[in-house]
A = this chain, B = another copy of it.
Amino acid sequence: MVAGAEQTVAVIGLGSMGQGIAQSLLRAGFTVTGYDIDAQATARLAAAGGALAASPAAAAQGAGVVVVVVVTAAQTEAVLFGADGAAASMLPQGVILSSATMSPAEAGRLAAQADARNLHYLDAPISGGAARAATGGLTVMASGSEAAFDRAAPALAALAQKVYRLGAAPGIGAAFKIINQLLAGVHIAAACEAITLARRLDLDIAKVYEVITASAGNSWMFENRMPHVLAGDYTAHSAIDIFAKDLGIVSEIGRERRFPLPIAAGALQMFLMASAAGMGRDDDSSVARLIAQITGLDLPGVERPA
């Protein structure tokens, strides 16, 4: 890799997370080229001063760092190693920062493909949500070689507030993210169950929010998501289908390893139910809306049968 090449970054995937990452990199002085299949997403980056490309390969031309912020392992593989994939046009010894939530085994397979192409691979899932992505305040749970971390360090410093170096082997970062998503998904489902039960018991749910966030029943997700339910605003910050996918990966890992995960399995069913009811692209707090619809509960923003 040529000197300074890590200052040229491609961001593949410009959803709410990728967009924030790209703009944080721009603010920090990186040369950023973005790619997304959605024209609206690319337009937002262009307005912020980023260059646009017509394919992952074009975006990665001359880049020392490629940040992949798509949703699945299959999408990650396609944009890196498929037709017009980024890997073919990256600089030799460039580093791939792979952020989609996936199983440790999938992260290992992608890292092996990068290795075969003389590229570095950082298994680098992210946490923190769109608001923190926009301000460069993400948490990154990463594993990879020293060389990969060194080359990615300037970009990581621009997009994350906290970078955990969790080991050398690909898959460790993915595994940490899986544990986080298990908890986060269960906590959202439990929060929705609790707030709707509170409403059913005729409690003032704004007061419930105040009391619980100051009590032992609190969780990061309860505190973060329940304002959407109180406001009856189910505009997606993070969608139901993201957790249907992530808890699906959790469940699959459990089956593969013969490890029972009954609580995560129950939460997965709630996200699948909400998705089946047509809320897949709505905010993940829609589990509360689903429960309200099923039970005929009077909850803000929820239509009831006449």
**A: which residues have CB within 8 A of B?**
104, 127-129, 139, 141, 162, 164, 166, 172, 175-176, 178-184, 186-187, 189-191, 193-198, 200-201, 203, 207-208, 210-212, 214-222, 224, 250, 253-254, 257-267, 269-270, 291, 294-295
Instruction: Collect the chain B residues with CB atoms within 8 Å of residue A190's CB.
Output: 182-183, 186-187, 190, 263-264
Q: A139-B211, A262-B266 are in contact. List 9 more A-B contacts (CB 8 A).
A: A175-B198, A182-B193, A182-B197, A183-B218, A189-B263, A197-B254, A219-B220, A260-B294, A266-B266
7 nearest interchain CB pairs? Answer: A183-B217, A219-B219, A180-B217, A266-B266, A186-B190, A175-B201, A184-B217
Instruction: Collect the chain B residues with CB atoms within 8 Å of residue A197's CB.
Output: 178-179, 182, 250, 253-254, 259, 261
Among the listed B212, B214, B250, which residue makes an inter-chain contact with A162, where contact means beta carbons less than 8 Å apart? B214
Smallest beta-carbon distance A7→chain B, Å: 29
Among the listed B194, B219, B220, which residue makes an inter-chain contact with A179, where contact means beta carbons less than 8 Å apart? B194
Q: A183-B222, A186-B186 are in contact. Are A259 and B200 (CB under 8 A)?
A: yes
Interface of A is mostly: helix
* Oligomer: number of copies: 2
Q: A175-B203, A182-B197 are in contact. Are A216 and B270 (CB under 8 A)?
A: no
User: Which residue from chain B places its CB closest to the CB of A222 in the assembled complex?
Assistant: B183
Instruction: Collect the chain B residues with CB atoms within 8 Å of residue A178's CB.
Output: 197, 201
How far, in whole Å, are A222 and B158 apart by their CA atoms in the complex? 30
Smallest beta-carbon distance A188→chain B, Å: 10
CB–CB A193/B262 < 8 A: yes
Instruction: Collect the chain B residues with CB atoms within 8 Å of residue A201's CB.
Output: 104, 175, 178-179, 253, 257
Instruction: Collect the chain B residues with CB atoms within 8 Å of residue A258's CB.
Output: 295
User: Which residue from chain B places its CB closest to the CB of A207 in the assembled complex?
Assistant: B166
Smallest beta-carbon distance A298→chain B, Å: 13
How far, in whole Å, are A196 and B182 apart by their CA atoms in the complex? 12
Instruction: Collect the chain B residues with CB atoms within 8 Å of residue A215's CB.
Output: 127-128, 139, 141, 180, 220
